[in-house]
Every structure is written in C-alpha cells, then in structure tokens.
Structure 1
Amino acid sequence: MTEPLIVGAMVRTLGAYPSGWRHPGAHADPQTDAATLRRIARLGEDAGLDYLFFGDWLATGPDLEFRDPYLLARIDPLSAVLYLAGVTERIGLIATVNTTYADPYATARATASLDVLTGGRAGVNLVTGAEPRAAANHGRDAHADNTTRYDRAEEFVRALRLLWESWDEDAWIADRLTGRLIDQRGLRPAALRGEHVRVAGPLNVARPPQGHLPLVHAGTSDRSRALAAGEADLALIASPDLHSARETRALLRALARDAGRDPDDVKVIAPVLPVVAETDAAARAIVDRLLLLVPIDDGVASHAERAGFPANRSLGAFLDAAGIATDAAARRASVDAALPPADAAAFGEAGARVLALVEQRTGRRVGGRSPVTWRHLIAAHAVPAAFVVGDAATVADHFERWRDDHAADGFNVLSAFQPAQFEAFTTLAVPELRRRGLLGRTGATLRERLGLGAPRLLHALAATDVTTAG
C-alpha cells in the first residue's frame, strides 16, 4: 500500500495571491496576525496536516505592496512557531532561518528549545537569501555571492548538527542518591572552526527529542540542489508543471544517491495553490474575483504613479507579450472591454496560453455570455499563479496525479487569502484526500511523521572513522 503524501501548509497570513487580501472577508491587518495564526493552526491540526511552514524575508519596501504584499510586514518565523507551540499539540512547526546572516549557536539554541517544548515537532528551513536589501539591514555593504553563501551554509548545517549533538541521549542522569546530575562524558563541544563558521559549544539546551531536527531547503542553482540532496530532509521545488517537477525530483534523488544517501530520505515537496469551493463553478468565481482585484494600470486609477508599481500591469505590456505589436485598435481598448474574437485569434503562443488559463480557471469564454476581458488577461499574465481550481475531487485529482507520476512526495499548500480559503481546503478537500489515502501520516515526532529514519550523528560517524582507521 502506498503511504500517504506529506501535506503541510505554507502560512502567509496576508494571502499567497497578491490581490487575496482584497477579497471580501479576507485578513488584511498584520496587527491582528495572532488571531489568524491561531485559527490557521487549529484548522491545520484538526485536519491532520503534517506541518505549518513559515518562510522569511529580511527587508521590506514599497515595491512589495503590489508584487508580494505578504512580505511587507510579517511575524518573524521563529517567533511564530514558538507562539504556536503553546496552542498546538500534534502538528509540526517549521521556521525559516537565513544562514547568510543568522548566528549558528543562537539558531541551534532556539530550534532545540522549540523541539524540547513541543516534544519533537520542530523543523528548520535553511535559506541563503535573495534580497540585496537584507545586507544593509545586517550592517554589510553587499549581499554575499552565491559561492560564499553556500560555503557558509554548508558549514552552518554542520554547526547545527554538532550543537544538537552536544548531549548524548543518556547523558542526563539526575541520580539523587549519588548526587550525579550528568555523565560528563556525554557532554561534548562542537569545536567547529570553518572558513565562515566557528562555534565552540556545547549547547546549553537539552538534547532535542528528534536528535537532529528535520532540515528543509529550496533552490534552483547547482549549489542549492547539492545542499538539498546532501543535507535536507525536505527539498522544496517550484516546478510549474508535472513534467518539470518529475525531472527535478529525479535529479534530486540522483544527487542524493551520489552523496551517499538513500534517495528515499529526500522528500521532494511541491507548492500547490488550491482555490476550493463546493463546486467547480463556485471555485472559478473566486479566481475570477481575484483577477479583477489585481491592481493594474487602467489609465484611470493612480496605481501606476505609486512607487514600485510593476511595469507589466498594463494593456500595452500584455499586448507585447501576446504578440500583438501594432494593432492600434486593441491598444486603445478599455481594459474592461470584452476580448474580441479577432484579437484572440491573432495571439501568439504566450497570449494563447494566458487566454486558455483564464478560460479554464474562471469559466469565461471569448464571445460568451460571460466574456473574457482585457483586465482578466492583463492580471493573469502579470501575476501568474499555479492555481488548482475546483471542488474537492478536482484538488484531490491533482494531488493523486502528481504522486502517481512521481512528480512529488508531498505538497506545501498555499491559500490565496486567509482564513476562508485555508478553511475551505481543510473542510472540503481534506476529507477527499483522506478517502483516497493521500493524507493521514502518523508519528509522535515530525521526523517520524515525515517518514525519516534516525539522524546520522556526526560524532558517531567520526568515531567510526577513527576506529576504522585504527
């Protein structure tokens, strides 16, 4: 029998689609994130999801208002998971740490503490950073180059593992009769002196229940994939379609094998943005509303005059992309006018692809009673999203197809807006996923729930090497 998929929620309180916060009833105030986080946590835990995942971004600016509103103001991920540790009992909690700027001892201490406080439900996502503004926020003149960042990340991982191993499993004795609290032989330093990371240890936190917390990593560069295949337990991918996801998963598994790991120990996790409703038609109506709520340059509103407004959100930008370069009539059209069939027929490959997605996801048709408008096309082109739109069966079909085609071992579920869309996923799609055996992993710790074996302890490997050499 095939084991269930790994299913977690990638939490973005302001929604994962840029116009999601504008949807009626959607959460839109970071000052009240606490209540939304508690609601998401209860929904996720009651649904039996495997974890809640919190990403990070170490800077902000007005450009994010339109591009990625959820990054403008957000709770620090370690703070978020520590907050939710007290209101959850079973679900895993994964926080992101940027190895370029974080201190390895402080990171090991915070994450080991989380693991102790939750009884083994903690995980950590390691990133190297992609936001140049983060450098200035950390007292640096420039963001480190790719090679330097990954050299440091590899040393950072080793530091975490050595610090988490500071205490042997049986080092804490607490023998009241003899007065021995610890076996001092079971407390060891990290003693790491690398080119980028130096840490002495031991760690002043009890041994994490999981030994090593599950590590998560994502990226597309060769170094990033090597780190994911060599060290990560969950490798996050962003492949836009099933075929590319299958190829990426196969590559990561091959790299893991080359690194001396069992390929099954690397779980490949894909993102999914389900828009769920009782019926396919109701779900398409939600996407239709989301597209209409995307701010675009319509020649009337003042969006385009504001700092950071994306240049691709105009009729002219879409027509250029669609292959209509000289049609003056189309360029004078109102963005809310219906797309004429003649213009649709003139689209190049890119334009035809956007049109097909709009028709599929909204139910609108060129020349139909609910026609496709230029606004829909501009928004879908400028703000692409891998929506899976429909009822519970439609969403479950997507999960099942990707599993059966070996494209992913699990999914990070994003919600276009909170909390209604996450609630729709947990109440509508989750029962169908369970019925098909696609959801329902068990385990007392996050490692067990993810199907991971015992961690490879560095001090034990070093002792084996010494014994073998002798």
Structure 2
Amino acid sequence: MILGAVFRALGAHPAGWRMPGAHRDPLQDARVLRRTARAAEAAKFDYLFFGEWLATGPDLEFRDPDLLARIDPVSSIAYLAGVTKRIGLIATANTAFFDLFTLARQTASIDRLSSGRAGLNVVTGADPRAAGNHGRDGRAGTEPNYDQAGELVRALRLLWDSWEDDAFVRNQRTGRLIDPEKLHRTDAVGDYLRVTGPLTVPRPVQGHLPIVHAGTSAHSRELSRELADLALVALPTIEHAVAFRTDLRAQARALGRPQGSPLIVTPVLPVVAQTRADAQAIYDDLLRLVPLDDGSPLAQSADFPANRSIRALSAAVGVPLGTPELDDEVPLRVTRRFAEGGQRILESVIARTGRTVEGESAVTYRHLLATHAVPTAAIVGSGHEVADHLAEWFEAGAVDGFNIQSPFLQAQFDAFTSLVVPELQRRELFRTEYEGSTLREHLGLARPENLHVEEALDASRSA
C-alpha cells in the first residue's frame, strides 16, 4: 500500500488551526515542516506531498486558511532534501506559469541533492488572481490546458536526459572530462513550448522524476494514462474507484505503457483516536469551530462564504427550515422531510460524530450546516477502524494507496502514525522498513532508459 503525507501546515480542515494545541502560526511553518517530515519518514511513508496555490486573498481565511500564506513547494522539497534521508519529496508545479528550463533544472538538482527522492506533481490552469501575479491577463488563460501540460512533461523528460549516465569519463591522463557524444540537445518544439538544451544539470538519479497528476475529467484522464506515474483521484465509492482504475489502466496498457501504470492514489482525511468515541468527539469539535453565519461581526465580513447560512442549508436539504438558532436540536419531523442531499448530510453527521436525532447527544443545525459548508473525505474512528477502511479499498483493487490529509498538525498526524500505521504493518499491508533508496523504488517503478539513447537505437535499427 502506498502512503503519502500531504503537508498542510494549518491543517486540511478549515477549522483545524483552531483546535487546542494545533499549529496556527505561518511564521513558524519551518518548524512544523521539519517535524512532520521526520515523523512521516520514521513511519516509512512513501512520500511527503506539497500542493500549490498561486494567489491569496482574505476569502481564503474562511474557505481554506492553509492557502493564505505557504512556503513554495519546490523550495520546501529542496530544504527537506537535507533534513531527511529516505522519504520521497513531491512538489507541485503549474504548467501555465513555470519556465520549462528552470523547472527541469530545479527538479533535476533536487533529485541529485536528495539522492533520488524527488517527484513532480503537474497541474494546469489557475484563477484570475494567479494569472495577474504572473503578468497575464486575469480575465483569460485560466482554463486548464492539458495539451500544454503534456508538452511540458515530454520536454522535461528530454531535458532530464540531456546527459547520459556515463557521459562523464573523468580521464585525468588524457584531460577528457566528458564524452561529448553523450551530451544531447533537446530541440523540443511544440504548440506551446520550445527548448533547445542541453540541461545544465547531470541526469537525475532516478532518470526521470515520477510524474503525478490529479483529476478525473476526460482531459485529465488522458494526461494520466499517457504520462503520469501516479494519478491522484477522489472517487465516492469503492465501486466507482475499481471501475476507474481498471479502465484507466486498460487505456494506458493500450498505449504501450507497462502493466500496472499508472498507480492510483486517493485522498483521505482521517480523524483518529484511541477509541471511536474519542475520534467522534474530535470531529464534533471541528464542526463546532467552523465559522458560520450566526450574525456575529466575523460573519458579516465581505469575504464570508455564502454557503454558511441557514438559508443555504435549507436549499441543501430541500426543506424550508425557517429561522432556528444554530445550536437548536434538529427535530425528527424535520429530518423526515429531507431530500436525498439532506439525508446524506445527516448520515454523515451521525456517522462522524456519533450524534443522533432527538437523542441524548442530538444533531444540531450547526452540525448540519458545518458539514454542508465544509465537505471532506473524512474517516473517523479508532486506529483499527481507519485501517479497516484503507484495507477495504486497497484489497478490493480500488486504489494503490492514499494521500493522508491530517485535519490539523501535529497531534492528528502523530495519531495516524502511532495508531493506524502499526495496524497496517501488522496486517502486512505496509512496509516496516524502506527497501529502496529512491522514490521510484518506494513506488515500485523501474528506472527509465535515456530517451536520446533509445531514439538513436531506434534510428540505427531502422537503417
């Protein structure tokens, strides 16, 4: 089973930073970054994963506080190359805004500095603010451009292969340092990108860094089946995930890719404690701490989300709710009238908090509204129960692994590594020690041949 740790300093849940003892100071992110990386490596995670967001604004305070101010992903993995020894390090780059040659140079350098532990998550598109930050027209050019992303990945691989592995002859007697026949121009020309090369960095330790891509759209699937080593997908059920994985791999195989490509990883947000009741209490607190439209000055902020009012909840559950107080209990007679969407929200609250309708610990409008306003892929339970969930998906052939998103740091990540990981190891579903030294080896991916060498061999065979 693949396990990746998604680093989100202020937590993957918007209210996580408000929990007792949670990290909440972006000025101290370096400290929690080091601690999380070392904890993930001690637990033998495959990799630490860094997402990206290229703009900020006060609206993110409510929607996703972690995105307000965060350290650059490429800088983060470069830093961690010297802080860790075995764990993989995956950074995200947006193909719309990165200079191709610079990205190839940075990533090849980090792979060298980390002894082969770097990976690259390729994303497309951005919001108008990100376009403005990069000197682009903020009203256009924000739609995902998968053709451009595909060109970039292909050109990256050619640049990474500029130097053959044995290009450096280092002959002291003759004075010959390199074999010039083993240094290659790239000369990649496409509709969106062009680059000559060669790259100014030796070939990465891994040959090519593992490429990651996220999404389930038709264009995203096309990019994943053709070029991705890891496909990050969020799917609602095991049945959906099995069908998606089977179909994507069959398409990739038809294109000549190796059996089992690409690997499929899905995000989860585990809330873990010694007992299910304790975990439910933590999730209950997270819901309680989500800012909602309660008439307070905070809720009157210009950037406060519109989906956090009773009116928004009424629309979501399909029933006029009137003007109850947020902490009023939800009557059974009201829940019986909920439409399908409302029933799903109610079931989620009951499963994740242990509350019941009109019980001793009753569901309130606050619970329903917070669940509607902040949808998550949360798994709430003891270490054994969370391990059961991961094992069920993995053993059903739905996924190859999981991206673990802790609702807040550091306590919840520590709970996962101390309660869930040992249970997966006991079931022989996860490693107890690293067997390889590179990210490719952790993921079971072969080291690719040099594309320039393969092209020359194909040309000689044709001749």
Q: Which piece of structure 1 moves more, 240-249 or 66-75? A: 240-249
Q: Which piece of structure 1 moves more, 37-46 or 448-457? A: 448-457
Please tell me the residue identity of whatever aligns with 2:303. G
Q: Distance in 2 between matches of 1:224 and 1:349?
A: 30
Pairing 1:111–2:107 present: yes
Per-residue deviation, 1:146: 4.6
State the superposition RMSD in angstroms. Answer: 1.4
Q: Distance in 1 between matches of 2:428 and 2:195?
A: 45
Q: Where does residue 20 of structure 1 map in the other structure? A: 16
Q: Where does residue 44 of structure 1 map in the other structure? A: 40
- For 1:213, which of 209, 231, 237 is the aligned residue? 209
- For 1:130, which of 105, 126, 129 is the aligned residue? 126
- For 2:70, which of 55, 58, 74 is the aligned residue? 74
Q: Where does residue 444 of structure 1 map in the other structure? A: 437
Distance 1:382 1:150, change over 3 A: same
Contact 1:134 1:143 survives alignment (8 Å): no
Pairing 1:396–2:370 present: no
Q: Where does residue 343 of structure 1 map in the other structure? A: 334
Q: Where does residue 315 of structure 1 map in the other structure? A: 310
Q: Where does residue 150 of structure 2 map in the other structure? A: 154
Q: Where does residue 100 of structure 1 map in the other structure? A: 96
Per-residue deviation, 1:308: 2.1
SS of 2:336's partner is: helix
Q: Distance in 2 between matches of 1:286 and 1:422?
A: 13
SS of 1:39's partner is: helix
Per-residue deviation, 1:145: 6.0
Please tell me the residue identity of whatever aligns with 1:452. L
Q: Where does residue 62 of structure 1 map in the other structure? A: 58
Q: Kindly report structure 1 stretches of 4+ aligned residues shifted beyond 3 Å.
A: none
Q: Distance in 2 between matches of 1:138 and 1:124?
A: 21
Q: Where does residue 319 of structure 2 map in the other structure? A: 324
Q: Where does residue 120 of structure 1 map in the other structure? A: 116
Please tell me the residue identity of whatever aligns with 2:301. R
Pairing 1:386–2:377 present: yes
Per-residue deviation, 1:247: 2.2
Contact 2:266 2:402 survives alignment (8 Å): yes
Q: Where does residue 227 of structure 1 map in the other structure? A: 223
Q: Distance in 2 between matches of 1:42 and 1:364?
A: 36
Please tell me the residue identity of whatever aligns with 1:421. Q
Q: Where does residue 35 of structure 1 map in the other structure? A: 31
Contact 1:229 1:256 survives alignment (8 Å): yes
Q: Which piece of structure 1 moves more, 371-380 or 434-443? A: 434-443
SS of 2:270's partner is: strand
Q: Give TM-score, length-normalised by structure 2.
A: 0.97
SS of 1:346's partner is: coil
Please tell me the residue identity of whatever aligns with 2:358. G
Please tell me the residue identity of whatever aligns with 2:365. W
Q: Which piece of structure 1 moves more, 309-318 or 14-23? A: 309-318
Please tell me the residue identity of whatever aligns with 1:50. D
Contact 2:9 2:23 survives alignment (8 Å): yes
SS of 1:331's partner is: coil
Q: Which piece of structure 1 moves more, 177-186 or 378-387? A: 177-186
Q: Where does residue 450 of structure 2 map in the other structure? A: 457
5+ unaligned residues in a row in structure 2: which ranges? none
Q: Distance in 1 between matches of 2:131 and 2:190?
A: 22
Matched length:
460
5+ unaligned residues in a row in structure 1: which ranges? none
Q: Give TM-score, length-normalised by structure 1.
A: 0.95
Contact 2:126 2:143 survives alignment (8 Å): no
For 1:217-296, what aligned pairs fall within 5 Å after superposition? 217-296=213-292
Q: Where does residue 427 of structure 1 map in the other structure? A: 418
Please tell me the residue identity of whatever aligns with 1:230. E
Please tell me the residue identity of whatever aligns with 1:276. V
Deviations 1:292-328 (A, max 9, x none): 00000023x1233213211111112112221213xxx
State the percentage of identical aligned residues. Answer: 55
Q: Which piece of structure 1 moves more, 259-268 or 51-60? A: 259-268
Please tell me the residue identity of whatever aligns with 1:319. S
Contact 1:192 1:198 survives alignment (8 Å): yes
Q: Distance in 1 between matches of 2:419 and 2:125?
A: 36
Please tell me the residue identity of whatever aligns with 2:347. A
- For 1:356, which of 340, 347, 359 is the aligned residue? 347
Please tell me the residue identity of whatever aligns with 1:153. A
